[in-house]
Structure 1
Amino acid sequence: MKKTILASAIAAATFSGAALAQESSLPTVYGNIQYAIAHENVDGGNSSINHYDNGSTLGVLHDHEIAPGLTGFFKIEIDRLGADDINSANDPEGRFRIDEAYIGVKGESFGQLWVGTDDTIYELAVTEISEFYEVALLNQVVSYDTGEGDMVQYLSPNFGGLTIGAAVQVNGDDEFGKKSYPWQLAAMYEVDALELAFAVDSNDGGRAYNRFRTVPSENNENTYGLRASYNLDNLRLTGEFHTRKDVSDTFGVMGIYTLGKNQFALSYELTQYDDNFSDAQFADKDIDTVTLQALHNLSDHMYVYFEGYLGGGDDGVYGVANKSESSVASVGAVYYF
């Protein structure tokens, strides 16, 4: 699971430096249960069908007025609830993982400063396509390493459509054997229906500090990302580009059309791996994905969807010699509150 409608809505509210929530004496409890069935097939390889928990979560958030114009807030969210299997508590990978946990302050003239575990500035600014879909089994993974724990992040107020973001990950001497301070910078500009964004990740900390603890970092070359989006009535168009020296270049385009309670999305993503890439399966090869989504909102708290994925590229990219095709067909349902 990448991002649900609920998660995206919460993220949008959380990152709005201009909007101050009203003081509340009680915290807000929210959550969702997500189920999906997916059929995966690799040409010349394995074929499987699975029913699983697609990222059910439970969270709590709260804010209060510290002083006029200054609000304090916190959020904690757990995932890996394992809502599909009574035996999931015995899963050796563990359950009830902290997905987001942070505290911060925000104000209309100050912006927003928060500390803890959260999606990063780079992801917020320029990774819309890879974070959009529900099942996301074949979508391209953008090569950047920093985040999502031990983060100090800042988002400026909106200056005539321009918002600036900055982040640093504080990795001490006891953090996986290496002290480092990887950073991210981003600039986002909105004018009428047009959105433009640029972001950079220093990648100085390595993957051992964040999302892929068992996978070594490729290098500490910067990752640069660009995104342009345009909103036209019920249609949203987005294009992205990400590059990292000696690793890969990733391109993507996506269209999202909303019609009443229905949402339709279509995207194309392409990653071109450098010939110096460390994994021989992908070095000097291309891999691409076409994704289709049809989603229907049954009510204000429940939606169902279908997603289809068709992956292609050079021979061997899906682990089968002389073959270059993989496909996924999935259906799912989400109940959220």
Structure 2
Amino acid sequence: MKKTLIASAIAAATISGTAMAQESNLPTIYGNIQYAITHDNFDGGPSTVDHFDNGSTLGILHDHEIAPGITGFFKLELEDIEADDKAKSSGIDGLDEAYIGVRGDSFGQVWVGSDDSMYETSIDEISNLFEVATMNLTGLYDTGEGDLVQYMSPSFGGLTLGAAVQVNGDNKEGGKSYPYQLAAIYEVDGLELAFSMDSNDGKLAYSKNGKGDPVANTTTGEITTPRDSDAMSVNNENTYGLRVSGNLDNLRLTGQFQTRKDVADIYGLMGVYTLGKNQFALAYEYKELDGDAKDNADGETKNDTITLQALHNLSDHMYVYVEGYFGGGDDVYNYTDSQGNPDVTDERSMAAVGAVYYF
């Protein structure tokens, strides 16, 4: 689930909600239901169709004036509704974002809690645009979205600086650590240049332990069981990301590069064209393992993905879309065959159709 349009709507709600809050002190309530159907095909393997909740959420926003030019704010967004399956759903039982903060005209903004990290918001534009995004290449950084203290400066002639630190105390699984992220974003005449880094400090693997055994990410709690060919090294090497984006009338072009020593390099290009109520996007991403990760891999060291999207806004509160994903490489994708045995293939394709209603 990626929420570019929804995020824009929430931003608009925040602005309008500010005026409402000043008059009535009432919070702004927002939400969405997202449904999608996918056809997922592994070359030489299974082909499946699935209907699912693509990330429906319900949220609350509020802000108030603390003093002239200084505003306090809060956000709480809940997810894991499983709106596609009444029998499976237990209601809202997941947290997406929750934070409080203060912003001012002169000092910028500081906020504390669970939110998209500084690195993600400044660099990962490509994967964040697409709705299903299952096959997009991303994630060269470990620092998660919880226990964050983040700061964003005001604009200095188009230059904005950001910093974040994740406070992992003594009682955290994996022990005490304080991974941090830094970002610099420069905007001028429709051109954006963004640079960011993640220290990846702490006792975390890059979602994988290099052996193909189950491993828990102590930041997110996610447990993954990677194939040997997906093996990445356990290290605390920094992640560095660079993004360049430009707007030419209705066309937005974006280029991204991410690198982490002994893990991988990722390159990405994307074009997004807006025509009235329609949006068309095309992206190409390429990943190559690096150093120890490449040496330890069993087969796959390179893979790429082409992603297409056509999206139509039915109204100010509803849109529909079609997406296509085409991925390839050397033994990149794993699946279970008809006899229940694990296998791998070089190619995978996915088609997705979805609808979103938001307010």
Instruction: With the length of structure 2 as denominator, give the TM-score of the two structures.
Output: 0.86
For 1:26 and 1:11, the matched residues in 2 are separated by: 17
| 1:204 is the counterpart of 2:201 | yes
Contact 1:282 1:317 in 2 (8 A): no
Unaligned ranges ≥5, structure 2: 206-216, 225-231, 336-342
For 2:175 and 2:320, the matched residues in 1 are separated by: 45
Indicate the residue corresponding to 2:152 in structure 1. 155
Contact 1:266 1:292 in 2 (8 A): yes
Question: 1:236-292, CA deviations, whole angstroms, 9 ceiling, x for partnerless residues?
Answer: 000000000000000000000000000000000001012521896666611110000
Indicate the residue corresponding to 2:334 in structure 1. 319
Once the 2 structures are TM-superposed, how far is the Cα of residue 34 of structure 1 from its aligned partner?
Answer: 0.4
For 2:57 and 2:78, the matched residues in 1 are separated by: 6
Indicate the residue corresponding to 2:265 in structure 1. 249
For 2:296 and 2:233, the matched residues in 1 are separated by: 15
For 2:329 and 2:300, the matched residues in 1 are separated by: 11
1:217 to 1:301, Cα distance in 2 relative to 1, 3 A? farther
For 1:253 and 1:234, the matched residues in 2 are separated by: 17
For 1:28 and 1:76, the matched residues in 2 are separated by: 11
Which of the residues 317, 320, 323 maps onto 1:301? 317
Which of the residues 117, 121, 125 maps onto 1:120? 117
> Residue 237 of structure 1: SS of its match in structure 2?
strand
Which of the residues 208, 228, 238 maps onto 1:222? 238
1:335 to 1:12, Cα distance in 2 relative to 1, 3 A? closer
Q: What amino acid is the match of 1:164? A: L
Which of the residues 169, 174, 178 maps onto 2:175? 178
Q: What amino acid is the match of 2:288? A: Q
For 1:8 and 1:272, the matched residues in 2 are separated by: 33
Contact 1:269 1:289 in 2 (8 A): yes
Q: What amino acid is the match of 2:266? A: T
Percent identical residues:
64
For 1:170 and 1:183, the matched residues in 2 are separated by: 9
For 2:103 and 2:81, the matched residues in 1 are separated by: 31
Indicate the residue corresponding to 2:5 in structure 1. 5
For 1:49 and 1:112, the matched residues in 2 are separated by: 44
Indicate the residue corresponding to 2:247 in structure 1. 231
For 1:53 and 1:168, the matched residues in 2 are separated by: 32
Indicate the residue corresponding to 2:222 in structure 1. 213
For 2:9 and 2:115, the matched residues in 1 are separated by: 15
For 2:137 and 2:124, the matched residues in 1 are separated by: 10
For 1:165 and 1:282, the matched residues in 2 are separated by: 39
> Residue 276 of structure 1: SS of its match in structure 2?
helix
1:200 to 1:300, Cα distance in 2 relative to 1, 3 A? same
For 2:41 and 2:235, the matched residues in 1 are separated by: 32
Q: What amino acid is the match of 1:307? A: E
| 1:274 is the counterpart of 2:290 | yes
Q: What amino acid is the match of 2:201? A: D
| 1:336 is the counterpart of 2:351 | no
For 1:286 and 1:12, the matched residues in 2 are separated by: 41
> Residue 326 of structure 1: SS of its match in structure 2?
strand
Once the 2 structures are TM-superposed, how far is the Cα of residue 202 of structure 1 from its aligned partner?
Answer: 0.3
Contact 2:256 2:267 in 1 (8 A): yes
Question: 1:98-136, CA deviations, whole angstroms, 9 ceiling, x for partnerless residues?
Answer: 100000000111100000000011011111002110011
Q: What amino acid is the match of 2:255? A: G
For 2:34 and 2:145, the matched residues in 1 are separated by: 23
Once the 2 structures are TM-superposed, how far is the Cα of residue 138 of structure 1 from its aligned partner?
Answer: 0.8
For 1:232 and 1:249, the matched residues in 2 are separated by: 28
Structure 1 segments, 4+ long, off by >4 Å, are 11-14, 278-284
Contact 1:318 1:324 in 2 (8 A): yes
Moved more, 212-221 or 267-276: 212-221
Q: What amino acid is the match of 1:211? A: T
| RMSD of equivalent CA atoms | 2.4
Indicate the residue corresponding to 1:39 in structure 2. 39
Indicate the residue corresponding to 1:194 in structure 2. 191
1:192 to 1:4, Cα distance in 2 relative to 1, 3 A? closer
For 2:106 and 2:321, the matched residues in 1 are separated by: 40
Contact 2:119 2:197 in 1 (8 A): yes
Q: What amino acid is the match of 1:274? A: D
> Residue 10 of structure 2: SS of its match in structure 1?
helix
| 1:83 is the counterpart of 2:83 | yes
Contact 1:281 1:319 in 2 (8 A): no
More helix as a share of residues: 2
For 2:306 and 2:245, the matched residues in 1 are separated by: 19
Contact 2:321 2:355 in 1 (8 A): yes
